[in-house]
Amino acid sequence: MSAVRYGQLFRLDGRRVAVVGGAGGIGREAVRALVAQGAEVLVADRHAEGAAETARLANADEAAPGAMPGTARAVTLDVLDESAVTAAAADWGTLDGLVVTVGVNVRKRISDYSMEEFDRVVALNLRAHFGLVRAFAPAMAERGRGSVVSLASMRAFQVEPGQGVYAASKAGLVQLLRTAAAEWGPSGLRFNAVAPGVVRTPLTDQIAADPAWYDAYAQASALKRWARADEIAGAVVYLVSDASTFVTGSVLTVDGGWTAVDGRYDPSV
């Protein structure tokens, strides 16, 4: 008979998790979901006020009946400052989970891109994740367990004009995590990506401001709508928790069916 306590699979009581990029959007909702499952969460972001507000919201949320919530605490971190990341790895102690949600997009066609814009997108979407993995993974692996989750995108696999650098950086992130999964797997450390579809966050303000563009994106998915940031949080909890102990080197796509049905035609037959 299995000794697994299925009622506890998603609980994170006593676990320490850092959410980097937790000041808003998907990062904020991930913090709230993790705290609700009992985790002690460090809300790390360059924007101190946003991180503090996330911690306040998470600590104010009501727990499920009979369950104890965790706690959230804001810390300041610039992920592009290598010395700051190294210091954080020492100061925060060993983590059970690391969730990285930082990212940026500059929507321009390749011929219109500047090298400065290219560097900015790749720095935040790929280099920052690399630096965090390099800083935190060794101690987690030495402990013999842990889960690292990064936010990729469906654009790692499915593109459109104007998404070239963003898509390339997200595809690179997926391959980085798969390689990390191979290198640290024998030590019990897991690496996975969550690939959202279109989510209403500050990152998509440009699209939301154009009604035709906004509606076109809504119609492209099977569910015919955009995602809310909180609809991505469950995937993060799953990958951090013991519900996914045999999941590593994987990409969990949360896109409302976009990649399944995009470009379809419904004939009247």
- HEC string of 157-173 equals CCCCCCCHHHHHHHHHH
pLDDT in tens, 154-178: 999 999 999 999 999 999 999 999 9
Domain span at residue 100 reads 13-197+230-252
Given the residues 166, 214, 238, 265, the one annotated as active site: 166
Q: Would you say residue 217 lies in a domain? A: no
| DSSP tag of 227 | B
Residue 268 has pLDDT above 80, yes or no: no
d(CA 244, CA 251): 12
pTM of the model: 0.95
Decide if 166 is catalytic. yes
Q: Would you say residue 139 lies in a domain? A: yes
Amino acid at 232: I
In the prediction, which pLDDT does 1 show?
54
d(CA 49, CA 63): 24
Q: Would you say residue 80 lies in a domain? A: yes
Cβ-contact 98, 128 below 8 angstroms: no
Q: What is the tally of structural domains in the chain?
A: 1
Helix 25-36 crosses helix 230-240 at what angle (to 10 degrees)? Answer: 50
Give the residue carrying structure tokens 């009946």.
65
Q: Would you say residue 207 lies in a domain? A: no
Q: Burial letters for 171-194: b for 16+ Cβ neighbours within 10 Å, e otherwise? A: bbbbebbbebbeebeeeebbbbbb
Q: Would you say residue 99 lies in a domain? A: yes
Q: How many CB atoms lie within 10 A of CB 76?
A: 15
* CATH number of the domain encompassing residue 245: 3.40.50.720
Q: Would you say residue 205 lies in a domain? A: no
Q: Would you say residue 202 lies in a domain? A: no
Residue 60 has pLDDT above 70, yes or no: yes
Helix 128-143 crosses helix 82-91 at what angle (to 10 degrees)? Answer: 20
**Among 42, 2, 39, which Cα is nearest to 22's?**
42
d(CA 48, CA 55): 11
Residue 104 has pLDDT above 80, yes or no: yes
Q: Would you say residue 265 lies in a domain? A: no
